[in-house]
């Protein structure tokens, strides 16, 4: 079987390596030289693929934020019940965490290093996602599928747990993904009944 990393474009390899280093050391403590060294290339060669460390962070975070936004759009416009939409959103978070563990790990803290249009765009995507999530929680309460809950607190609790899932998953990669989805849905959604 071919090495998965060889099948990725050089740019994607750089992004994956940077995400891993940003996660391990933090954005501020990681230099372009560190990324180049990890990639076993000259720092100058790195700039043939990406023009700055800021561009790397922007691409990583905006890609993840857009993927969540696209997932939300698809799920909220589907014909399933509101409680099923919430289940699907939790499952989406779990799958994204499994697929993009290093990049997901940047969301809780490293977004503050975004600049200019990138930070505005990221915050707009995040705020809209949270608003849509709250709307689905409200609808599930109205449908009597969830108890009488404080929507803001429930949303904060669920999304915080999902944002930090990467930390638990990193130490438990052997966990069956489908089982993890079911457990997270049971704990985060049905724990609200």
Structure confidence by residue, pLDDT tens digits, 117-164: 999 999 999 999 999 999 999 999 999 999 999 999 999 999 999 999
Map tokens 């589907």 to a residue: 78
User: CA–CA separation, 94 vs 88, rounded Å?
Assistant: 10
**Fold observed for domain 54-192:** Tetracycline Repressor; domain 2 (1.10.357)
Percentage above 90 pLDDT, the chain? 90
The pLDDT value given to residue 79: 98
The pLDDT value given to residue 43: 87
Assign domain 1-51 to its CATH architecture: Orthogonal Bundle (1.10)
In this prediction the pTM is 0.90
SS3 100: coil
Determine the number of helices (DSSP H) and then strands (DSSP E) in the chain: 11, 0
Task: pLDDT band for 1, please (50, 70, 90 cuts).
Answer: very low
Q: Where in the chain is the domain with CATH 1.10.357.10?
A: 54-192
* Structure token digits, residue 7: 């099948």
Map tokens 């050089």 to a residue: 10
């Amino acid at each position: 079987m071919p090495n998965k990393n060889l099948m990725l474009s050089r740019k994607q390899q750089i992004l994956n390596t940077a995400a891993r280093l940003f996660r391990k050391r933090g954005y501020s403590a990681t230099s372009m030289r560190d990324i180049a060294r990890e990639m076993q290339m000259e720092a100058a060669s790195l700039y043939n693929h990406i023009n700055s460390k800021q561009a790397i962070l922007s691409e990583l975070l905006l890609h993840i934020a857009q993927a969540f936004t696209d997932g939300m759009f698809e799920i909220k416009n589907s014909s399933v019940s509101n409680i099923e939409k919430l289940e699907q959103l939790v499952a989406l978070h779990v799958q994204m965490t499994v697929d993009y563990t290093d990049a997901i790990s940047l969301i809780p803290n490293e977004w503050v290093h975004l600049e200019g249009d990138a930070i505005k765009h990221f915050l707009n995507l995040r705020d809209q996602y949270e608003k849509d999530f709250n709307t689905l929680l409200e609808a599930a309460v109205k449908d009597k599928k969830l108890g009488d809950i404080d929507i803001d607190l429930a949303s904060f609790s669920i999304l915080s747990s999902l944002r930090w899932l990467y930390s638990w998953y990193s130490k438990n990669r052997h966990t069956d993904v489908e089982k993890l989805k079911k457990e997270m849905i049971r704990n985060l959604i049905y724990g609200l009944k």
